[in-house]
Structure 1
Amino acid sequence: MRSLKHQIFVLLVGSLVLLAASFLVTLGFYMKDRAVAAAIVKVQTDLATCGEIIDQKFPGSWSEQNGNLYKGPDKISLNNELVDHLSNLTGDTVTLFLGETRVATTVRGSNGERAIGTKVSTSVAQKVLQDGQTYVGQANVVGEWYQTGYVPLRAESGKIIGIFYVGISHAYELEIITRSLITMAGIGLSLTIAVALLTMFFLQKVIIYPLHNIVAGTRDVAAGNLTQTVKVSGAKEIGELEDAFNQMVEQIQSLTEEINRANSGNPRYDPTLNDINQPIEPIECDREMTELSIDRVVVPESKQLSRLDSAGCIGEGGLPKGLNQATLGQIVQFLQATRRPLSAEEVAEGVKLTRVTVRRYLEFLENSGLLKSEQKYGTVGRPVKLFIQF
């Protein structure tokens, strides 16, 4: 069976991975739209840039001479140097058309040769050559889809005689998307690892270690060490488990002491055979004194006893349910030996009992008039309740 730590860790990592995968899928769709928008902007910019370069390098008007495309006196048809230069500058495919036919291009066909003599698509020819408009959008270029831009080439008379084209392959869009997703995946992986490590540290400190301490205390009790108590720090539920464990130990102590007292009247009983939590001898008092209730205890002044000395004369019948004489005597002896204001935590540490149990006995002594209490205020934190002997 897997440990609680491993189960929580697997659940956490699985949730983070699922969240990261969902985020990357959503980001992929978003980046696809952004990549298309970026490609369109690039196409429009490259059309303008290449047009200015051509005008500066080849001044003059566009014209058709002997079935070839000219710019001023310069022949543009089959001018591979020009289209290659523009392609290197922009990273696009570049083509010049005479009419609807490619006369200079970097686009290559399936055989790897320049696609000279191939035609522009019908839809583009309609919009650019006949309607005289610029076309920006997806188009099929020699069997492959590109994000394209087409502008009409006009002769000096204003007649449209050709087309200038730039195109961005879908590979460019995929490159943008892939690069963005890889970056986000790296960031997401780093955050996942960081969150997982912080969660493991939190689980170890707040849940796993306190539970281990409680389990170790339980094993000690099972081995016969009934003075074992646990002190853990953690969540509220862990603190409640600590109190429940310490109360259980106290109940076992009480039961053991009752068994020891019952067996002490048996002539065959040897107290050395069971030395776990031997009851502390109660303070001796007259028989008449033991029959009095705690609020009637009177100690002669000649004996110069404190009120706390009379606690040993309280019989089992004078104690509230859940308290026993032996534990009361143990706490009283510690108070008499210390003789200074003490908190419940200090007494609990001194007698090796839980603070919850010790507090019940101290409050009983306070309610019986044998102790008094006062609040001690520090500079920070909650006040501490101190129990003081009369």
Structure 2
Amino acid sequence: MEKRMSIKKKILAMIVGPILTLGIISVIFTLTRVKSAMVNEIQDALKGTAAATLAAYDQNTGDYIQASNGDIWKGSYNVSKSESLVDGIKRNTGMDVTFFYGSQRVMTSAVDKNGDRLLGSPAGDTVIDKVLNNGQNYFSKNVSLDGTLNYGYFMPVYQNGSDSSIVGMVFVGTNKAQKDVVINYLMITIGTAVFVIMLICAAFGIKMSSSITKSIRTSIGVVEKVSAGNLDVWVDEKLLKRSDEIGDLSRVTITLRDATKTVIKDISANANALLQAGNALKEVADKTNGTMNQVRTAVTMIVDNSSDQARNSQNTSEYMRTMGEDITETSREVDALDVNAASMQQ
């Protein structure tokens, strides 16, 4: 026999299923969008700091040149000795700043484990191609500074008064692990909130399905009792006062009970009337039977009398025949006497 799914399971499937599906989709979509938004915010912050750093260098008049000792100057400002500028930006923003002349680091706020500035190392090939060769701003999610990954933003540096001659780059980076902790915390918070909402909705669905199935079972139980002949059953007033389909079902169940009572009363009354009519008919039948016995007796007597009359008629007929024969014989004898008398007269 095929096993049927209960209405409770169907209701749970209709409620919990979409909730779980929508919740999972919402979590994935929300977390993806949140992470993307946070990364975009980090990118905008890095871009803003890079632009501010570039503006701080460009405010000095003159061209970017390299002195004989290797220092880079912007007019009268020694870029290679601008520790106070990059360190001040780091203190205020928490971001490391690096100035590249060409592809080489000539000034940076980033230091290694020994506290020495990370100078002299070249930029990566991708950065050189996009920024120095093509003049593009470039954002990267994985820039390594002494083995520590950073979110980084590169901005090309143009020669004074030029929009095509690129002399270097400004880099601004922030610790990726620290930012990811913030992003992950926010994502976990949002995911937890969505999960809690899903649980609340699922619990509400389970409670609602249990309430519906319980009410339906109650109505079924009432109908079963009525079908078994118990017409004194009652339904909870709370169910009768409900304005939904469950309330309608409960009220119809009571209506069915009352209608069944009425039908049974009518059947009982008709049965009593039929019983009384049967008794009356029995009395009439008994009287008719007595009358028929009397008629039968009368008929029997008439038949007997008719038989006696028939026998009497038969005897009378025999007597009449005998008398006829006697008369005939007497007539012959009279005729013979007449003949004899005549003879004697002669």
Relative to structure 1, is the Cα distance of residues 3 and 123 closer, same or farther in structure 2, using a 3 angstrom cutoff? closer
C-alpha deviation, 1:86, in angstroms: 1.6
State the shift of 1:67 in Å: 1.0
Identity %: 23
Matched, 1:185 2:216: no
Kindly state the Cα deviation for residue 100 of structure 1 after the two structures are TM-superposed: 1.9
For 2:9 and 2:204, the matched residues in 1 are separated by 14
Cα distance change on mapping 1:145 and 1:196 into 2, 3 Å:
same
Aligned AA (1:226) = L
- Quick one: which of 106, 109, 113 aligns to 1:103? 106
Task: Determine whether 1:138 maps to 2:140.
Answer: yes
User: What is the aligned partner in structure 1 of residue 244 from structure 2?
Assistant: 235
Aligned partner of 1:12 among 1, 15, 18: 15
Deviations 1:140-176 (A, max 9, x none): 6347574422222636999755432223555577467
**Residue in structure 1 matching 2:91, options 79, 88, 96:** 88
Q: Residues 213-260 of structure 1, C-alpha deviation per residue, up to 9 Å, x if partnerless?
A: 435645765897523344623533662465256425744775588679
2:27 to 24, 29, 34: 24
TM-aligned CA deviation for residue 32 of structure 1: 4.7
**Counterpart-to-counterpart distance in 2, 1:259 and 1:110:** 104
Deviations 1:173-212 (A, max 9, x none): 746754553454355345445545655665566x356336
Q: 1:31 to 1:147 in 2, by over 3 A?
A: farther
Unaligned runs of 5+ in 2: 281-346
Residues 275-294 of structure 1: pairs in structure 2 closer than 5 A: none
SS of the aligned residue for 2:119 comes to coil
Instruction: Work out the CA distance in 2 between the residues paired with 1:199 and 1:246.
Output: 30
Distance across 2 between alignment mates of 1:77 and 1:34: 36
Give the distance between the partners of 2:272 and 2:222, measured in 1 at CA. Answer: 27
What is the aligned counterpart of 1:164 among 152, 166, 170? 170
CA contact (8 A) 1:69 1:75 kept: yes
Q: Contact (CA 8 Å) 2:101, 2:169: kept in 1 or not?
A: yes
| Contact 2:141–2:152, Cα closer than 8 Å, also in 1 | yes
Q: Check the 8 A contact 1:124/1:135 in 2, yes or no.
A: no
CA contact (8 A) 1:78 1:104 kept: yes
Distance, in Å, in 2 between the alignment partners of 1:104 and 1:139 is 22
What pairs up with 1:184-333 in 2 under 5 angstroms? 184-189=190-195, 191-192=197-198, 195-196=201-202, 199=205, 203=209, 207-208=212-213, 210-211=215-216, 213-214=218-219, 217=222, 225-230=230-235, 232=240, 233-236=242-245, 239-240=248-249, 242-244=251-253, 246-247=255-256, 250-251=259-260, 254=263
Q: Distance in 2 between matches of 1:31 and 1:103?
A: 36
**What does residue 124 of structure 2 align with?**
121
Count of residue pairs the alignment pairs up = 264
1:15 and 1:183 mapped to 2: Cα distance?
22
CA offset digits 1:241-288 (Å, max 9, x no partner) = 65256425744775588679979999xxxxxxxxxxxxxxxxxxxx9x
Deviates more, 1:248-257 or 1:208-217: 248-257
In the alignment, what sits opposite 2:290? none
Q: Secondary structure at the match of 2:80?
A: coil
CA distance in 2, matches of 1:113, 1:10: 63
* Secondary structure, aligned partner of 2:127: helix
For residues 187 and 254 of structure 1, what CA distance do their matches in structure 2 show?
59
Q: Is the 8 A contact 1:221 1:249 kept in 2?
A: no
Instruction: Report if aligned partners of 1:62, 1:156 keep a CA contact under 8 Å in 2.
Output: no
Q: Which moved more, 1:79-88 or 1:229-238?
A: 229-238
Structure 2 residue matching 1:44: 3-state secondary structure: helix
Q: CA deviation at 1:54?
A: 4.2
Measured on the aligned residues, the alpha-carbon RMSD in Å equals 4.9
Q: Which has the higher helix share?
A: 2
Distance 2:111 2:18 in 1: 48
Q: Which has the larger radius of gyration?
A: 2
Structure 2 equivalent of residue 42 of structure 1: 45
One-letter amino acid matched to 1:23: S
Cα distance change on mapping 1:139 and 1:248 into 2, 3 Å: closer
Quote how far apart the aligned CAs of 1:119 are.
0.4
Closer, same or farther: CA 114–239 of 1 in aligned 2, 3 Å: same
